[in-house]
Amino acid sequence: MKTTLKETKIEQLNVAFVEKFVNTFFTRLVDSYYEFVQLFKDQKSTFTKFIVWMSKEIEKLIVLLRNQQYISIKNFTFSMKNIDILFTKADEFSTKLIDIKFIFEEQLEQILTQIIRTQKEFIIDTLRQRHRDEKWIPVTFQTPDRLNQLYYEFNELGIDGNTFLEPFIKDDQEDILQIDLAPSTLQFTKAYLTFSRDIFKIHYSSINPVIVEALVELIKLHLKYYERTLQNSNDKNLNIFIMKNVDFSLNYLFHHVEQLHKPKIGHATKFFTKVYDKMDKLQAIANS
């Protein structure tokens, strides 16, 4: 816990540094804009040259942040926070002066695609290991404090943990609290919610397909592990338990993520909707 807190504090300091650094960059950009307008106010044709100059300056900024590992594939959450800072400042500049957000979007598209897909693969690798070790037994807590800690972790990810998990809580055993979900389900849930939260603020048209692709691929792979277990099971009680995990994964976890991202992805919502078709297929396997 101490190590985690230390890492969090260091990350917060680094994000604060990036924000201060980017603020300085945009302050100078604003000054350059007004200076340019004053010098060439009667020569509108030269304005294109200023856009080209700005684009090169923005490219230098991004290269610098990448070289210093403020934007990288190594720390997804940290990188997303810093990219969000860039987009936020670009929005402010675009609202007050001229639109430059499209320059950031173009120059960050390839980088973002790489970062998102790398993080997706990391989650997939972790998911494989956790499902490989899965014993398909409910998560048990010996004290209410540990359950409350889980609620807190979910609250930090933007979800009311108590409400979210309440339908799956079993407290009919004295001094023992159970969540009628497998450990791998809860572990994937936290990873998926973290991923969803981190990419939420960077939606724009050319990167939306990458976001949707990643979110859909992850949940489908997660459901695939349930399917494989059901196909190899003749245990009715096990099948019932697995279908509870399926219900949670689709109708609680994925539903939350879908509703969160739906307003930002336009026609790509059709790919989200198709995921729910898995419920009938898995139920049919469980009943066979």
What pLDDT band is residue 120 in, cutting at 50, 70 and 90? very high
Asked if 18 and 82 touch (Cβ cutoff 8 Å), the reply is: yes
Q: By C-alpha distance, which of 164, 166, 186 is closest to 177? A: 166
Q: How far apart are CA 98 and CA 29, in angstroms?
A: 11
**Residue 267 in this model has a pLDDT that exceeds 80:** no
The model's pTM: 0.86
What's the confidence (pLDDT) of residue 246? Answer: 94
What pLDDT band is residue 31 in, cutting at 50, 70 and 90? confident
What's the confidence (pLDDT) of residue 45? Answer: 63
> Could you tell me which residues come within 8 angstroms of residue 28 by beta carbon, excluding any fewer than 6 positions away?
none
What pLDDT band is residue 253 in, cutting at 50, 70 and 90? very high
What's the confidence (pLDDT) of residue 43? Answer: 64
Q: How far apart are CA 288 and CA 282, in angstroms?
A: 10
What residue ranges do the domains of the chain occupy? 2-99, 118-138+181-287
Q: How far apart are CA 158 and CA 199, in angstroms?
A: 13
